């Protein structure tokens, strides 16, 4: 499927989306944070969600792996599917869903454990490794994929919190990769990093593209332009415009999008 989709012209082929949101509404108590959003997300693409603060993009992102469940006042309506299955169906298991839809947060949040245990945590709880050697392999592979292996292979026992900010964020990406997800959600993953670390994380996202459906929330329009194939512009809880990144940034159809990307507000 991966091979097929890369060969076919995306404009003509009818692909099945990895995840699809249909008419999603989110409420925080009385606050209507996300208003009737429909959006398809594909496996071989990086989709960027942009928009001013408080536009609902992070809230929408957190619906995709049901992290909003942890907020008591939050209510989600509408339909979100993963490979065609409704993820809000009571029969769907949140624990498995979150393993399939990984997440990377705004601030790097390594556990106060060793680098090895940080990566091994997910595989251990999900029982992905039968023996120690399997686990070692998962840890090594995940760190390699996150481009961190060479930097930390000699100090896997040192605490994850001792790494630099950029390394911590890549450790968190490796941690998400280790449970073998199909989708990775990133909530402004670079906003707490310096430019050099940001460049490294962006390069990593580019490498991971194609293996995972990646949805990234970002404040930086340059970043969205650099790393994403699709861009969705949110404003006040509405999905204003959605399409190819180049189109959104060069020829936006909506006035609000144009105003935002030209810096009139936001």
Nearer to other proteins, 11 or 95 (CB): 95
Quick check: 232 and 192 in contact, CB under 8 A?
Answer: no
Burial class (CB in 10 A: 0-12, 13-18, 19+), 124: middle
Nearer to other proteins, 177 or 248 (CB): 177
**CA–CA gap between residue 261 and residue 70 (Å, rounded):** 33
Quick check: 220 and 51 in contact, CB under 8 A?
Answer: no
One-character DSSP codes across 189-206: TTTTS-HHHHHHHHHHHH
Nearer to other proteins, 172 or 239 (CB): 172
**Smallest distance from other proteins to CB 175, Å:** 7
**Smallest distance from other proteins to CB 235, Å:** 26
Burial class (CB in 10 A: 0-12, 13-18, 19+), 43: buried
Nearer to other proteins, 57 or 175 (CB): 175
Binding site for other proteins (CB under 8 A): 65, 67, 70, 72, 93-100, 102-103, 105, 107, 109-113, 121-122, 125-128, 138, 141, 144-145, 147, 172, 175-176, 179-180, 182, 207, 210-211
Nearer to other proteins, 32 or 211 (CB): 211
**Smallest distance from other proteins to CB 187, Å:** 10
Quick check: 155 and 211 in contact, CB under 8 A?
Answer: no
**Smallest distance from other proteins to CB 41, Å:** 17
One-character DSSP codes across 245-263: HHHHHHS-SSHHHHHHHTT
Quick check: 229 and 245 in contact, CB under 8 A?
Answer: yes
**Smallest distance from other proteins to CB 107, Å:** 6
């Amino acid at each position: 499927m991966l091979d097929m989709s890369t060969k076919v012209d995306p404009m003509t082929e009818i692909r099945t989306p990895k995840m699809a949101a249909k008419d999603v509404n989110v409420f925080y108590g009385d606050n209507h944070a996300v208003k009737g959003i429909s959006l398809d997300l594909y496996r071989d693409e990086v989709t960027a969600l942009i928009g001013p603060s408080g536009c609902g993009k992070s809230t929408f992102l957190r619906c995709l792996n049901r992290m909003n469940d942890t907020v008591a006042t939050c209510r989600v309506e509408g339909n979100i599917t993963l490979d065609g299955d409704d993820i809000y169906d009571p029969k769907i298991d949140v624990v498995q869903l979150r393993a399939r839809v990984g997440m990377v947060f705004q601030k790097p949040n390594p556990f106060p454990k060793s680098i090895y245990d940080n990566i091994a945590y997910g595989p251990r709880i999900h029982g992905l490794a039968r023996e120690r050697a399997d686990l070692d392999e998962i840890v090594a592979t995940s760190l390699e994929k996150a481009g961190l292996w060479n930097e930390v292979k000699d100090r896997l026992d040192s605490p994850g919190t001792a790494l630099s900010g950029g390394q911590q964020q890549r450790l968190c990406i490796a941690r998400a990769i280790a449970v073998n997800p199909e989708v990775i959600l990133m909530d402004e993953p670079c906003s707490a990093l310096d430019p050099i670390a940001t460049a490294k994380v962006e390069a990593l996202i580019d490498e991971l593209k194609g293996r995972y459906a990646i949805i990234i929330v970002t404040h930086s329009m340059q970043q969205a332009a650099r790393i994403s194939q699709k861009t969705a512009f949110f404003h006040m809880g509405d999905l204003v415009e959605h399409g190819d990144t180049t189109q959104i940034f060069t020829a936006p159809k909506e006035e609000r999008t144009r105003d935002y990307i030209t810096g009139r507000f936001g």
